[in-house]
Chain A
Amino acid sequence: MKLFENLYAYPWQGNDNNCNSYVFAGALDGGKHVVVDPGHLVTPYYRESGLDRLLEAMDKDGLAGAPVGLVILTHSHPDHSESAVVLRSEYQALVAMHEADEPAYSALGGKVDLFLDEGTLELGKSKAVVLKIFHSPGHTPGHVTIYWPDRQVLIAGDCIFYRSTGRADLPGGDPLILRQTIERLSKLEIEYLLSGHAYGHPGIISGREEVQDNFRYVRNLLY
């Protein structure tokens, strides 16, 4: 699903648990794509194909002509990161994530080429896409969110969903830190909040007021 000229959203539509994936199409030199959270290779319970479906969907959007050059992982959980291992080995894509989540990702067999600290991430030699990486812990110690100021898009990973938040009870999670992270993110100018899961909702909240309403709901009901 094309959101903008060079940003595509692929909400997960299977029955099992898997994440939403997002693609900055042709953002790197040579027209290579940047994939955020490619998800499971195969889902754990119903054995639904994850990566194959993502690649087929990208193909339908006419993105098959160039390979994936970079995979950005918001965090290490396998429902977001598992396919990155294959994208790296089969397509020589670089994998980028925050250093604090690298041990958990390594335990799954993953290797990290680039650590992402808080700062700017510029894609393309002409820097056509300039993103801001925010260290957004709470769901995991090394969770990051990706903010595109030009379009006011926030790729939120598992920090915040439609009317809900990510879990903070898994190893490395901390509910108080997650709360601080969400409060911080709520202060951004966000026109499109792209979350990591479609829990009862596609996971794409559009409109500044709707996004702020979602933050208010989470703040009032959960905190």
Chain B
Amino acid sequence: MEEERIKSAFEIAMERISSLPELTSEEIAAQKEKQYAPLGEAIAGKYLRCLIGDDEMIGEVDKLGAEPGQIVRRSLAASFCRAMRMEGDPDEAERALKGINLIAPSKSSLVRKAGEDVHSIVDKFEREKRVKSVEFGVSAVQSMGKLGISGSAPRPNLNENGEWQQELKRMRQSYESELETIRTRLLRELQIA
């Protein structure tokens, strides 16, 4: 009797694959997005931390093919937009704007307008934070006084003041939603397709 030939694991795997349906074009696009988007985030991170310069950043994108390059540019733009945030490093935000200008040079007026809008919101947040922190500080000193603690030495630590932390959270959420509107609008207008 003839012995049955034992198939290799590779042959079995290939048989299984051939019986699977083909990927749709959307699935292929999603896979490519998943593959290349993190590269954009990594390049953005290096650029924002000044580990690479302007030419190097563009060089990293240009050496990819057309389609991967577009995916990476979109991811770069999204990463740079996210870097413009409240209580973030202002130098990093400036560098992010510069980065967006480099990957979308034809949209510099849009980028400049978005930068101005972001600065305006961040300034407004910082001003309100300063005013409110003074109010909460005064209130904390009054509470200290009610306990019988006063003088020039003691100063309330607002980071441990629950009410101030709540107010700060509320302010951050409010201004963050305005910032997110600007980021979304900028990404849409950049139209990196």
Interface size class for chain A?
20 to 34
B152/A112 in contact, CB under 8 A: no
Interface flags, B140-167, vs A, CB<8A=1, else 0: 0000111111111111110010000000
Q: List 27 A-B contacts (CB under 8 A).
A: A27-B148, A28-B147, A28-B148, A29-B147, A29-B148, A32-B148, A69-B147, A94-B144, A94-B147, A96-B154, A102-B157, A112-B160, A113-B156, A114-B149, A114-B154, A114-B155, A114-B157, A115-B154, A115-B155, A116-B153, A121-B151, A121-B154, A122-B149, A125-B145, A125-B148, A130-B151, A132-B153
Interface flags, A166-193, vs B, CB<8A=1, else 0: 0000000000000000000000000000
A117/B149 in contact, CB under 8 A: no
Other A-B pairs, 9, CB within 8 Å; known A114-B144, A121-B153: A30-B147, A69-B148, A102-B157, A114-B149, A114-B155, A116-B154, A117-B154, A121-B154, A130-B151
Which residues of B have CB within 8 Å of A28?
147-149
Which residues of B have CB within 8 Å of A69?
147-148
Which residues of B have CB within 8 Å of A117?
152-155
Say yes or no: is A52 at the interface (Cβ < 8 Å to chain B): no
Say yes or no: is A202 at the interface (Cβ < 8 Å to chain B): no
Interface flags, A98-135, vs B, CB<8A=1, else 0: 01001000000001111111111111110100111100
B149/A120 in contact, CB under 8 A: no
The B interface, classified by DSSP as helix, strand, loop or mixed, is mixed
Given contacts A29-B146, A114-B144, contact A119 B160 (CB under 8 A): no
CB distance from B129 to the nearest CB of A (A): 19
Which residues of A have CB within 8 Å of B149?
28, 70, 94, 114, 121-123
A118/B153 in contact, CB under 8 A: yes
Chain B interfacial residues counted at CB < 8 A: 15
**For the complex, what is the distance from the CA of A127 to the CA of B154, rounded to whole Å?**
14
Which residues of A have CB within 8 Å of B147?
28-30, 32, 69-70, 94
**For the complex, what is the distance from the CA of A102 to the CA of B158, rounded to whole Å?**
13
**For the complex, what is the distance from the CA of A117 to the CA of B157, rounded to whole Å?**
12
Given contacts A29-B146, A114-B144, contact A122 B151 (CB under 8 A): yes
CB distance from B146 to the nearest CB of A (A): 7
**For the complex, what is the distance from the CA of A112 to the CA of B160, rounded to whole Å?**
7
CB distance from A223 to the nearest CB of B (A): 29
Question: Which of A96, A113, A119, A123 interacts with B148 by CB under 8 Å?
Answer: A123
A120/B151 in contact, CB under 8 A: yes
Which residues of A have CB within 8 Å of B145?
125
CB distance from A109 to the nearest CB of B (A): 13
CB distance from A159 to the nearest CB of B (A): 17
CB distance from B136 to the nearest CB of A (A): 14
A120/B152 in contact, CB under 8 A: yes
Which residues of A have CB within 8 Å of B153?
116-121, 131-133
**For the complex, what is the distance from the CA of A119 to the CA of B149, rounded to whole Å?**
13
- Which 6 A-B pairs give the minimum distances between C-beta atoms? A119-B152, A119-B153, A29-B148, A120-B151, A133-B153, A122-B151
Which residues of A have CB within 8 Å of B150?
122, 127
Which residues of A have CB within 8 Å of B146?
29
Closest chain B residue to A29 by CB distance? B148
**For the complex, what is the distance from the CA of A113 to the CA of B146, rounded to whole Å?**
15
